[in-house]
Amino acid sequence: MKPKKVIFSAMQPSGTPQLGNYLGAIKNWVGLQEDYSCRFCVADLHSVTVRQDPESLRQNSLSLFALFLAAGLDHERGIVYFQSHVPAHTQLTWALSCLTYMGELNRMTQFKDKSQKHSDNINAGLYTYPVLMAADILLFRADLVPVGEDQTQHVELCRDVAERFNNLYGDILTVPEPFVSGAAARVMGLSEPSRKMSKSENGSENNVVFLTDPPEIIAAKFKRAVTDSDNQVRFDPENKPGVSNLINIYRAVTGKTVPETEKEFENSGYGAFKTAVAESVIAELSPLQDRYSRLMADAPFLEAAVKRGAERAAEEAAPLLKKVMDAVGFAPR
């Protein structure tokens, strides 16, 4: 039997995950487990490029790990782990940093964006974190990397650095391909549908549906969602961004197409449509929330799962790191 291709993906524990994270990434990852060998990472090292409260970081990291499992990521079939628990990530980063050019890092658009948002903390980690991202991917010999539109640049850098390493030291690193799935949904803000769903975009929690929001809060947020004045449920992102965003959310959780959604609500006003979207999201998230609550209440299970994930990830990463260290010329222990 032909071995399954390896997929690597990660998410930062920067706060409570929201509907955009779920529909744009996590839900899609769950579906990939059947056909691929998956490695999913809580990217806590990446998160400290922005100032973090230590206790909040610990709690957010554990919460994200539990949400991964609650959503259906299988920590026995694949590997689910904390990035900071596997030192090989940072060891490989240094070797790759010495093959990454400043001109390449200068072109990274996310560094420019984050530098503007956090002008009081433009640090070296923020500048070089694309190299850590490359190490994350290459450490597990990932063949494919699920990416959104804002991450393709980082995968291209990863490919360039891997090819440069292989040209110098032999065919050691797997050069990954970006994996863009049509199943992933791009979710925009409820009160600011011109931008991705994010509390940081406008500071309003009504802009965001968090995965742990209770049903009544979810319903209230969708009721307040921005639409327009013509009261027609029609997909038109340019002229009707708010309604189009709600259609995208509805089809992502129900599996219906845009034409099916338009047909279903052709004689309905926005009130009925918003209620239906809210109910579909609540139905999607309720089982996840139940599993999450049980996991967070079971400290021994979570502790064992975290430890097992770290052990399995470290064991899998070790051979590749040794090959890199030997190839570069570091003396063996």
Distance CA 197, CA 202 (A): 10
Q: Please compute, for residue 274, the number of CA atoms within 13 A of its CA located in the half-sphere on the CB side.
A: 18
Tokens of 125: 């980690």
Residues near 39 by beta carbon (within 8 Å), at least 6 away in sequence: 6, 7, 8, 9, 78, 79, 81, 140, 142, 313, 316
Residue 290, helix vs strand vs coil: helix
What one-character-per-residue DSSP string does 131-156 give?
A: HHHHHHHHHTT-SEEE--TTTHHHHH
CB neighbourhood size of 109 (10 A): 10
Give strand pairing partners of 179.
Answer: 146
Q: Please compute, for residue 324, the number of CA atoms within 13 A of its CA located in the half-sphere on the CB side.
A: 26
Radius of gyration of the chain (CA): 21
Distance CA 245, CA 277 (A): 11
Distance CA 208, CA 206 (A): 5
Catalytic residues: 114, 196, 199
Tokens of 324: 């890199």
Give the strands of the sheet with 6-11, arranged side by side: 79-82, 37-42, 6-11, 144-146, 177-179
Tokens of 163: 């090819």
